[in-house]
Structure 1
Amino acid sequence: MPNRLEVIGTATVPWLPPSHDFRPGLAALAERAEKNGFSGLLVFYDHMVLDPWTVAGVLLQHTSTLVPLVAVQPYALPPFTAAKTISSLVSLYRRRVDLNVVTGAAPEELDQIGDPLDHDGRYARAAEYVSLLRQLLGADEPVTWNGDHYRYRNLRINTRLPEHLMPRIFVPGSSEASRSLVDRIGHVTLTHPEPVDRFAENFAAARNASGLEMGIRVGLIARRTAEEAWAAALENHQVDRAARLRTLLKRESESDWNRRLARLASEAEVHDDVYWTGLYSTGRTGAPLLVGSYDQVAEYLERYIALGVTKLLVTKVDTEDEFHHARTVLTRLDK
């Protein structure tokens, strides 16, 4: 795996009843990811999945180097609690815990909890949240904070971390608000990329000018031949009328990247012979997939890397077979 590219997988947690025992599957996934050279696993947040911090603890318990990338939603977790949780995990496992700062693109979830903020307001809150969280994790003295969303007075919580164990901040999104947020408080700007030429024009040029690291999130379906890869991709794949309607509606989404991907999916399922929007159209993932032979997928990834991408977040890779195929692609990079 090339040194210039950090690869992070996804901790898949299906929507199953709470009585289901997820722990063995999560432990096995974490062990596979570490064995195959992945540096970490992204842990999602939404109302229907397991608590991401509890999942992160399982990942840490069953690995020795893997770093969880935990989705943090400001409305769901006060900065005080986030600081205590991060500091506790780092103290117990002596490993960094990275943060993927999300602001909420699902209108139904925002409505359910009565969040009054609009799109830009949620990004402003997130900026204050991360700034305060950094102070809580970096200060020995009591913290006083008088902001628009949070207020503390002489707060003592003993959560200071050494610099090398401070979390890296990933900021997903492609809107102006997300770009402003990552410029203020982020280390890595993250997106579900468009096909590589559009990505170069619409995202990479602005991000390279900022000097921040860039990450992309895609799925990989690669096999020895393109025919085998497409057979695997299209197995049980069907875009019905309801899925097409949902995709059309997403073209008006508040989320910039949802709008972009929905427009791409409406134009065509396949772009550049490799870039596939099929699973996005059926709602099985929010990211595009790269489909083709090992060499085709590796060559397409190289084009993203040449534009400055240093973080690759991989979705739909969880079984031994899929890790094998992904690693086969990744070892072809730089050759």
Structure 2
Amino acid sequence: MSLTFHWFLPTNGDSRHVVGGGHGVPTGAAGGQRHATLAYLAQIGRAAEQLGFVGALTPTGAWCEDAWLTTAMLSRETERLKFLVAFRPGFVVPTLAAQMAATFQRHTQGRLLLNVVTGGESHEQRAYGDFLDKDARYARTDEFLQIVRQLWEGKSVDFSGTHLSVEQAQLSRLPEPVPPIYFGGSSPAAGEVAARRSDVYLTWGEPPEQVAAKVAWIRELAQRHGRNVRFGIRLHVISRDTSAHAWAEAQRLLDGFDPQDVRAVQEGLARSESEGQRRMLALHGGRADRLEVSPNLWAGIGLVRGGAGTALVGSHAEVAERITEYHRSGIDEFVLSGYPHLEEAYWFGEGVLPLLTQAGLWSHPESDREEPAPEVPFAAGLPR
């Protein structure tokens, strides 16, 4: 099975330094910011498409642009790239969400992937009018996905649950194809919903042995429900021609962190209700002197940013080795990003992906259409 790679659309802005924000942390940047204009995001999307990424994750939250609207506009700027749209089921009623997905599929010829985000921070949820606690939000997500799945099957749905109810709900036009559901979460409540409802379980970038344990946990839960789930991982990446150059780049980013910003961010993240965030914090403990938490796995991003806080750092060969190691742990899909997102897409796409092709683990989605490299003019007449 060929590995699948997705990139990231920084709809909260981009920079040559780490841009913070998300998961209850105020948005800020360690340096000059590239605004998330459609023109710039389209550059990133076209680069990702050219390099062979299948899709691009688009985040959700008060700290970034709306994912649905942004990707709908960007779909006209690309030809093949799919959009992994993050959204929170508590903010949209299930029938409307099912209809939106069907419309998106129709107008983009099937380029929608859905990342369901239950929401880990109650204070942010309340800003949107959602006053459920964390466990109740997961219960509502379970009801939401149950309704949406039935609508996508063409059923007329009558449902009365603890949190959601619909009567004679039905879609006039079904999505083609049905968009796969990507879902993450490290708590017991999250695991149950993932096992019952998701197509791809996503984890943040923990060390391979921890990821393998998560894969085994979700796989066992899914098997109890008679289901099979694929597995993906969310990571940043710093890949260079040599290991020294990659680690020098990581150090450059680290040198740009204001210690006061680090303290403020860590204090905010320590109050997070997210089990996944707790596990991210535990990798480095807020300290900048022990950030390589596993070979080539650097936790420095998590000092100033919530959510996915680790990066693969190393030579192209080392990064390819770590990806292979994660694959052996059960991971088939990789959702990657890097600062800045345009340039890092090329570093990874031109440096790591060819090595994975040589190893028989990846092929370009349009490999059958690739043209042969042009011959060098007059090369035939040169002395050998």
TM-score scaled by length of structure 1: 0.89
Q: Which moved more, 1:94-103 or 1:212-221?
A: 94-103
Query: Cα distance, 1:217 vs. partner?
Result: 0.4
Deviation by residue 1:135-190 (Cα, 9 ceiling, x = unmatched): 22221x5432222222222234413234xx10101111122111101111111110
- Secondary structure at 1:291's aligned position in 2? strand
Indicate the residue corresponding to 1:109 in structure 2: 124
Aligned equivalents of 1:253, 1:203: Cα separation in 2: 21
Alignment check: 8 A CA contact 2:11 2:36 kept = no
Aligned equivalents of 2:211, 2:138: Cα separation in 1: 23
Say which one has the larger Rg.
2
Query: Cα distance, 1:126 vs. partner?
Result: 0.5
Q: Does 1:137 align with 2:129?
A: no
Query: Cα distance, 1:116 vs. partner?
Result: 2.5
Alignment check: 8 A CA contact 1:12 1:318 kept = no
Structure 1 residues 119 and 89 mapped into 2: Cα distance closer, same or farther (>3 Å)?
same
Aligned equivalents of 1:291, 1:323: Cα separation in 2: 14
Indicate the residue corresponding to 1:331 in structure 2: 354
Alignment check: 8 A CA contact 2:44 2:341 kept = yes
Q: Which moved more, 1:81-90 or 1:144-153?
A: 144-153
Aligned equivalents of 2:162, 2:206: Cα separation in 1: 35
Indicate the residue corresponding to 1:10 in structure 2: 8
Q: Which moved more, 1:95-104 or 1:56-65?
A: 56-65
Alignment check: 8 A CA contact 1:207 1:214 kept = no
Structure 1 residues 285 and 103 mapped into 2: Cα distance closer, same or farther (>3 Å)?
closer
Query: Cα distance, 1:233 vs. partner?
Result: 1.7
Indicate the residue corresponding to 1:71 in structure 2: 86
Q: Does 1:287 align with 2:277?
A: no
Q: Does 1:301 align with 2:291?
A: no
Q: Does 1:181 align with 2:196?
A: no
Indicate the residue corresponding to 1:149 in structure 2: 163
Aligned equivalents of 2:76, 2:261: Cα separation in 1: 42
Query: Cα distance, 1:15 vs. partner?
Result: 5.4
Letter matched to residue 114 of structure 2: L
Aligned equivalents of 1:96, 1:28: Cα separation in 2: 18
Size of the aligned set, in residue pairs, is: 327
Letter matched to residue 33 of structure 1: A
Aligned equivalents of 2:151, 2:54: Cα separation in 1: 26
Aligned equivalents of 2:80, 2:310: Cα separation in 1: 28
Query: Cα distance, 1:199 vs. partner?
Result: 2.5
Indicate the residue corresponding to 2:65 in structure 1: 50
- Secondary structure at 1:332's aligned position in 2? helix
Aligned equivalents of 1:193, 1:29: Cα separation in 2: 22
Which stretches in structure 2 are left out of the alignment for 5+ residues?
Answer: 15-34, 223-227, 360-384
Aligned equivalents of 1:12, 1:187: Cα separation in 2: 24
Alignment check: 8 A CA contact 1:243 1:281 kept = yes
Aligned equivalents of 1:192, 1:156: Cα separation in 2: 35
Indicate the residue corresponding to 2:242 in structure 1: 225
Q: Which moved more, 1:245-254 or 1:276-285?
A: 245-254
Aligned equivalents of 1:208, 1:70: Cα separation in 2: 24
Indicate the residue corresponding to 1:312 in structure 2: 334
Indicate the residue corresponding to 2:18 in structure 1: none
Alignment check: 8 A CA contact 1:26 1:58 kept = no
Alignment check: 8 A CA contact 1:251 1:260 kept = no
Aligned equivalents of 2:342, 2:64: Cα separation in 1: 23
Letter matched to residue 54 of structure 1: L
Q: Does 1:191 align with 2:227?
A: no
Aligned equivalents of 1:249, 1:233: Cα separation in 2: 23
Alignment check: 8 A CA contact 1:101 1:170 kept = yes
Indicate the residue corresponding to 1:247 in structure 2: 266
- Secondary structure at 1:64's aligned position in 2? coil
Structure 1 residues 285 and 187 mapped into 2: Cα distance closer, same or farther (>3 Å)?
closer
Deviation by residue 1:99-128 (Cα, 9 ceiling, x = unmatched): 111111133212323422222111110011
Letter matched to residue 25 of structure 1: Y
Aligned equivalents of 2:298, 2:192: Cα separation in 1: 29
Letter matched to residue 13 of structure 1: T
Which stretches in structure 1 are left out of the alignment for 5+ residues?
Answer: none
Deviation by residue 1:193-224 (Cα, 9 ceiling, x = unmatched): 31123333x41332344442111000110111
Aligned equivalents of 1:56, 1:64: Cα separation in 2: 13
Aligned equivalents of 2:207, 2:283: Cα separation in 1: 9
Alignment check: 8 A CA contact 2:113 2:180 kept = yes
Q: Which moved more, 1:234-243 or 1:104-113?
A: 234-243
- Secondary structure at 1:235's aligned position in 2? helix
Indicate the residue corresponding to 2:367 in structure 1: none
Query: Cα distance, 1:24 vs. partner?
Result: 0.9
Aligned equivalents of 1:284, 1:227: Cα separation in 2: 27
Q: Does 1:264 align with 2:283?
A: yes
- Secondary structure at 2:89's aligned position in 1? coil
- Secondary structure at 2:336's aligned position in 1? strand
Query: Cα distance, 1:286 vs. partner?
Result: 2.8
Identity %: 28
Letter matched to residue 216 of structure 2: A
